Amino acid sequence: MSDKVQKDVTAIYEKVQKDTSQSLTKYNANMTRLLNSSKEFWKFTGVKEAIFWSMSIAIIVMVTRGSFEAWGLEMPIVIWGLGYPASLLPLLVYAIKVAMKKE
C-alpha cells in the first residue's frame, strides 16, 4: 500500500514540476518579449529624436530672447524671425532622411 502511495505522490510531484517548468518557461519568454518591446519603445531614435532636438532648439531660442529682454538688450527682429523657424530644422532633416530611404 505504501509503495502505491509513494508512486502516486511521485507522479503528482513530477506533473506539478513539469507544469511549473513549462509555465516558468512561458513566463520568461513573455518577460523577455516585453522587455525588448519596451526597450524599442523608449529608444531615442527617429521622429522622437527629431522632436527632442526641435524642442531643445526652440527652448534655447526662447530662453535666450527672454534673457536678452531681461538684461535690456534689444536684438533685431530678424534674428528671432530666423531663430524660431530654425527649431524646425531637425524635423525637416528627419523628413528628408525618410524620403531618401523610400527612393
Q: How confident is the model at residue 75 (pLDDT cuts 50, 70, 90)?
A: confident
Residue type for position 3: D
Residue 32 in this model has a pLDDT that exceeds 70: yes
pLDDT band at 83 (very low <50, low <70, confident <90, very high): confident
What confidence score (pLDDT) does residue 43 get? 67
What's the rounded Cα separation, in Å, for the pair 90 and 50? 5
Q: From start to end of the chain, where are the E strands?
A: none
Instruction: Say if residue 2's pLDDT is above 80.
Output: no
